[in-house]
Amino acid sequence: MGVARGGAPRARLGIYKACWVGGCPDAAVLAAIDDAIYDGVDVMSLSIGSVGKEIPGTLHAVQRGTSVVFSGGNDGPVPQTVTNAEPWVTTVAASTIDRSFPTLISIGNKEKLVGQSLNYNAAMNNSGFQDLVHVLRQPPRRPSTHALAIKTTVEAGAKGLIFAQYTANNLDNLAGCKGFMPCALVDFEIAHRIYFYWEMTENPVVKVSLAVSIVGNGVLSPRIASFSSRGPSLLFPSILKPDITAPGVSILVASGSSYAFSSGTSMACPHVSAVTPLLKSVHPDWSPAMIKSAIVTTAYVTDHFGMPIQAEGVPRKLADPFDFGGGHMNPDRAVDPGLVYDVDAREYNKTAASPTTSILTSHPSPCRTSRTLSCFSALLLMLGQRSNTSFSC
């Protein structure tokens, strides 16, 4: 056992109830945001949202000096699925980390394949089992799909289960297997090879070995998670979103009185939320826009081998700004970015009152103002760490 701590261990936390089993009602979320504004919090971390719907109330928070950090959604790798894309908030994508749990999968034709697993119980290890391959036919981000597959497999008396999905690194999908049977994750290419052997063999046999742990340069990372929602935004197509990516795949989290792995942009968002108050403590005079600028403009766009970051999906491709915004967060560089961009928070009123947006009422805003509003600055980030200023009017 090691030591677990948060990204900003000395930060004081304020927890506001906004969600229940049935979801997160707009009124409850708005009430929680209002309470946080009243309490004078420095950062809001909001791991909620859905495609085509923006959370109300965050503009007022930013105008009062509170940085707002949102998860970008888990509907990737489809384009135009990013949510929480208002220009005044920081929208976070999810990427992988340099940790892997490979497991050897041996099939009866002596072929050796590699998946990922949390199978460390030698007592449950086996010499072979049959009829265990389950290929997901629903979106892999649905926990109910995995729970149903595991429950059905256990009730059928199977000795093990193999999941197939885009990538084999979302280990939270295996939580339901714990204590019942060995389970493994494979990508669709390996799943096809297992399934072909299973269909063409009269008595197929598959063995899942114990998993091992690999940390560091042996794991290609970071990569943009396949589930991480992609830009551009449907509601704000002229604003580059997401803004940044952070670790969000197989993150160790508290679960009741224990720990578990969890994946999603909801896991990536708190990483950025933790860095934000650290920057605020070093630069107390920075506005939310300046903090966001420091994080986005100092991000890196290469993996630890110096190669361009890849975006998982079918097919895998080189990541672009619609996958990761400015790139992968680099907290050390963000402390001293050299140059930060600022925005007068009142300038965001122009976007909020635009006839093409419907943030608060789901209808075009009839609000008018006699005050002259100038164009606000937005960051247009280019690969290779270049940043230019564009203007949206």
Closest alpha carbon to 387 in 318, 293, 289: 293
Q: Do 77 and 226 meet the contact criterion of CB atoms below 8 Å apart?
A: yes
| 185, 215, 245 - which closes a domain | 215
What is the percent of the chain where pLDDT is above 70?
81
φ, ψ for residue 226, nearest 5 deg: -60, -35
Average the pLDDT over 360-388 and give the result. Answer: 42
Give yes or no for a contact between 182 and 174, defined as CB atoms under 8 angstroms apart: no
pLDDT at 58: 92
Rounded mean pLDDT, 363-387: 41
Mean pLDDT along residues 213-230:
90
More confident residue, 324 or 235: 324
Q: Are residues 132 and 158 in the same domain?
A: yes
Q: What is the pLDDT of residue 18?
A: 92
Beta carbons within 8 Å of 94's beta carbon, 6+ residues apart: 72, 74, 224, 225, 227, 228, 245, 246, 247, 248, 249, 263, 264, 265, 267, 268
Q: What is the biggest distance separating any 2 CA atoms in the chain, rounded to whole angstroms?
A: 79
Encoded amino acid at 332, one letter = D
- Which domain, by its residues, includes 311? 26-96+223-392
Task: Identify whether 7 is part of a domain.
Answer: no
Does residue 227 sit within a domain? yes
Same domain for 235 and 371, yes or no, is yes
334 vs 110: which has the higher pLDDT = 334
Q: Structural domain tally of the chain?
A: 2
| Within a domain: 10 | no
Note the pLDDT of residue 124: 55
For residue 69, the 8-state DSSP code is E
Question: Given a cut of 70, is residue 378 above it in pLDDT?
Answer: no
Same domain, 81 and 107: no
Regarding whether 258 and 359 lie in a shared domain, the answer is yes
3-class secondary-structure state, position 46: strand
Q: Tell me what the mean pLDDT of segment 102-113 comes to.
A: 87
What percent of the chain stands above pLDDT 90? 43
Q: Determine, yes or no, domain membership for 86.
A: yes
Residue type (1 letter), 125:
N
Q: Name the more confident of 167 and 88.
A: 88
Give the pLDDT band of residue 325 (cuts 50, 70, 90): very high
| Residue 228, token pair as written in the block | 């991480």
Q: Is residue 6 part of a domain?
A: no
Which DSSP symbol is given to 308?
B
CATH number for the domain including 136?
3.50.30.30
Whether residues 228 and 358 fall in one domain = yes
Check whether residue 69 and residue 114 sit in a common domain: no
Residue 287's region, left for phi above 0, alpha for psi from -120 to 50, else beta, is beta
Per-residue CA distances from 151 to 15, 119, 146, 184, 289 (Å): 34, 18, 9, 15, 48
> Which pLDDT value is given to residue 1?
54
The residue that leads in pLDDT, 149 or 96, is: 96
Convert the pLDDT of each residue in 249-271 to its tens digit. Answer: 989 888 888 888 889 999 999 99
The one-letter code for the residue type at 346 is R
pLDDT for residue 51: 72
pLDDT of residue 306: 92
Q: Of 310 and 152, which is predicted with more confidence?
A: 310
- Position 137 pLDDT exceeds 70: no
Taking residues 38-49, what's their average pLDDT?
A: 94
**Structural domain includes residue 187:** yes
Please give the mean pLDDT across all residues of the chain.
Answer: 81
pLDDT tens digits, one per residue of 165-185: 777 777 777 777 776 777 888
Asked if residue 12 is part of any domain, the answer here is no
CB 392 within 8 A of CB 239: yes
How crowded is residue 216: how many other Cβ atoms within 10 Å of its Cβ?
Answer: 10
Confidence class for position 382, pLDDT limits 50, 70, 90? very low
Query: What angle (nearest 5°) sits at the alpha carbon of residue 367, between those of residues 342 and 18?
Result: 70
| For helices 288-297 and 265-282, angle between their N-to-C axes, nearest 10 degrees | 110
Please give the average per-residue pLDDT across 109-133, as a whole number: 68
Mean pLDDT of 62-82: 94
Q: What is the CATH classification number for the domain harbouring 252? A: 3.40.50.200
271 and 336 part of one domain:
yes
What letters, b where the CB count within 10 A reaches 16 and e where it falls short, cover 229-250? bbbbbebbeebbbbbbbbbbbb
Same domain for 88 and 109, yes or no, is no
Q: Are residues 42 and 71 in the same domain?
A: yes
